[in-house]
Chains A and B, each alone.
Chain A
Amino acid sequence: MPSSEVAGPAEVLVLAELTASGEPTRATLEALTAARVLGAPVAVVLGAPGAAAGAAAELARFGAGRVLAGESAELDAALVGPRVDVLARLVADRAPVAVVVPASAEGREVAARLAVRTGSGFLTDVVGLAADGTATQLAFGGTTVVRAQVTTGTPVHAWRPSSLTPVPAPVATVVEQVPVELSATAREARVVRRVAGPVAGRPALTEASVVVAVGRGVTTAAELAAVEELADALGAAIGATRAAVDAGVCPPSCLVGQSGARVSPRLYVAVGISGAAQHWSGVRAAQTVVAVNSDPDAPVFALADFGVVGDVATVVPALTAQITAARG
């Protein structure tokens, strides 16, 4: 029925996260894809001046009919707080049906503080959204599937990266500047400096669609180099177990598992990993798992979809060669 009211379809605010080169992250495109079922996605870009202009085309390609740009150098000078200030104001001004935030380390915290600030409930590790607002979550590293609803306020969903394949839905978009007015408390957790990790050119562990991880069975520099070649052939991030980190084979930033990152790639390649629960709690959401281990009795073979029993030093270079050849 035509309406004389100016109100359009319900809006869903989607916080856009940008890569170092200024493009929306894959998790952002996933969040836009998932948010469409709830209403019209409106992307919120919070960053340095000019950030929204560089990202708007890609955001529009995935359905963001409006891009709200909060641009200020102050946004990145403090942890979490500035983003919450701007988003809370947008929630009050625009009354969206929901807010979806990519669940990076900072995004999860933005979601949590925003929910408390706006008197709302929030859900984390969301991997699916339904039109009635029901969210699907993975609990306990993917061993339990939960469907849940926020019952208070404006629902805030922290979207788990690598949960779906982003689907384009091109729309025309407008970029609209929104004010960045920060409270004193928002500036208090100061980011003094940012230091890039030791490995450039590989995807971030929690964003990667392929992860190649090493465990106790990788001990020599030559074996690690072979694993790195395999990772680069697959465009993969490199992960590690606690044993490999403690042995100095990989830096702590590679740690996957109970005290490290939880990953949810399409493919997880476990090299020289036994399959202990402390590590596997970070891997359970991986869609396909393959394992290389010299011990045919390693528990990892019961967890993997496909296993190769053999020495890392021979199997891994063979795999790299076969994959390169298969790609022609």
Chain B
Amino acid sequence: MHSVVLVKQVPDPAGERELDRRDATVARDAADAVVGPLDLHALEAALTLRERAGGTVTALTVGPPRAAGALRHALATGADRAVHVVDPALHGACAPQTSAVLAAALRRVGFDLVLCGAASSDGRLGVMAALLGERLGVPHLSGLRALAVSGTTVTGERQTEDGWWELAAELPAVVSTHALPDPPRRRTVAGIRAAQHRPVTTLTLTDLGIDPATVGLAAATSRVVTADAGPARTPGRTGDPAELVRFLADRALV
């Protein structure tokens, strides 16, 4: 089985995140970069599936040259190979455009199962699995808190607002994961060494048969008009329970 894990380099969610003042894209240079925390759960799931049933795990990312760090992380954790779609025209790509680029790359490298985090911690759209299912014409099972593959069927438990749903689909399919029961494994020194010998394929939009003029900020399906800091919280005050209840009553909250 060939699993492809989408990994995304994101600003460290523990730090402050902001939009670039020049063009209202996520200011990715302004923050320390890490691999999306939920992407690591998706990678863990793919590595576990490989241990049980054999196969290959490919890590795939779309992003600027520095996003290769996310691929090196995935290789050092155990992915067999990596694919990096990098092209200056990608700057400012909206989610539908990014999904078209990822879908083209996935068709190129082939896949039985595509795995990604249920939401990136920067853009936070949480819809990439759905977009890829639409683009690739395959089922998507999203928001999974547990995942299994038996033969050619993938099953999972989808966390919902008020419980969970048991889902199933035939491969090929796209899945997205929340935090899974097993914590993601860590990189080892041996893994980091071994990763240096594993292949990283670099693809441009032209390699994928995509006209660069159709991708990026100028061709995006939506545009940002203004972006401002949200309303600042006034410093809070403290008091006893009775004062708190009066505070809530003043705001018509009790």
In the bound complex, do residue A315 and residue B241 qualify as a contact, i.e. CB atoms below 8 Å apart? yes
**Given the contacts A139-B227, A153-B221, A290 and B179 also touching, CB distance less than 8 Å:** no
Main secondary structure of the interface of A (DSSP, over half): mixed
**Given the contacts A144-B19, A145-B227, A188 and B139 also touching, CB distance less than 8 Å:** yes
In the bound complex, do residue B221 and residue A150 qualify as a contact, i.e. CB atoms below 8 Å apart? yes
Contact of A145 among B133, B141, B143, B230 (CB under 8 A): B230
**Given the contacts A121-B96, A259-B37, A267-B253, A143 and B137 also touching, CB distance less than 8 Å:** no
Cα-based distance from A278 to B15 in the complex (angstroms): 9
Instruction: Answer whether residue A196 sits at the interface, using C-beta atoms and an 8 A cutoff.
Output: yes
Complex interface bits, A256-267 against B, C-beta within 8 A gives 1, otherwise 0: 001111100011
Cα-based distance from A56 to B142 in the complex (angstroms): 30
Contact of A151 among B223, B239, B249, B251 (CB under 8 A): B223
Residues of B within 8 A of A305 (CB): 233-234, 236-237, 247
Instruction: Answer whether residue A307 sits at the interface, using C-beta atoms and an 8 A cutoff.
Output: yes
Instruction: Answer whether residue A1 sits at the interface, using C-beta atoms and an 8 A cutoff.
Output: no
In the bound complex, do residue B248 and residue A290 qualify as a contact, i.e. CB atoms below 8 Å apart? yes
In the bound complex, do residue A140 and residue B17 qualify as a contact, i.e. CB atoms below 8 Å apart? yes
**Given the contacts A116-B99, A189-B140, A290-B244, A145 and B254 also touching, CB distance less than 8 Å:** no
Cα-based distance from A315 to B243 in the complex (angstroms): 12
In the bound complex, do residue B247 and residue A290 qualify as a contact, i.e. CB atoms below 8 Å apart? yes
In the bound complex, do residue B223 and residue A149 qualify as a contact, i.e. CB atoms below 8 Å apart? yes
- The smallest C-beta distance from B95 to any residue of chain A, in angstroms, reads 7
Contacting residues of chain A (303-328) with chain B, CB-CB under 8 angstroms:
303-310, 315, 318-319, 322-323, 326-327
Main secondary structure of the interface of B (DSSP, over half): mixed
In the bound complex, do residue B13 and residue A253 qualify as a contact, i.e. CB atoms below 8 Å apart? no
Contact of A112 among B13, B131, B166, B241 (CB under 8 A): B131
Residues of A within 8 A of B81 (CB): none
Residues of A within 8 A of B220 (CB): 121, 151
Contact of A116 among B126, B134, B159, B228 (CB under 8 A): B134
Residues of B within 8 A of A120 (CB): 221
Contacting residues of chain B (7-63) with chain A, CB-CB under 8 angstroms:
13-19, 24, 37-38
Size bracket of the B interface: 35 or more
In the bound complex, do residue A142 and residue B137 qualify as a contact, i.e. CB atoms below 8 Å apart? no
In the bound complex, do residue A326 and residue B238 qualify as a contact, i.e. CB atoms below 8 Å apart? no
In the bound complex, do residue A309 and residue B238 qualify as a contact, i.e. CB atoms below 8 Å apart? yes
Residues of B within 8 A of A124 (CB): 125-127
Residues of A within 8 A of B37 (CB): 258-259
**Given the contacts A80-B140, A120-B221, A142-B230, A189 and B167 also touching, CB distance less than 8 Å:** yes
- The smallest C-beta distance from B17 to any residue of chain A, in angstroms, reads 5
In the bound complex, do residue A113 and residue B166 qualify as a contact, i.e. CB atoms below 8 Å apart? no
Residue pairs across A and B with Cβ atoms less than 8 A apart, 30 shown, are A108-B127, A112-B130, A113-B133, A115-B96, A121-B220, A122-B221, A122-B222, A144-B230, A145-B227, A145-B228, A147-B225, A189-B140, A190-B167, A194-B160, A194-B166, A195-B163, A197-B162, A205-B161, A206-B161, A252-B179, A253-B160, A259-B38, A260-B179, A277-B13, A277-B14, A301-B238, A306-B244, A307-B236, A307-B237, A309-B238
Q: Which 6 A-B pairs have the closest CB atoms?
A: A121-B221, A112-B127, A188-B139, A109-B130, A204-B161, A197-B163
Instruction: Give 20 A-B pairs besides A79-B140, A105-B161 with Cβ atoms closer than 8 angstroms.
Output: A108-B125, A109-B142, A116-B135, A124-B125, A138-B230, A139-B19, A141-B124, A143-B16, A143-B17, A143-B230, A144-B230, A145-B230, A147-B227, A149-B223, A253-B163, A303-B233, A306-B237, A306-B247, A307-B236, A322-B241
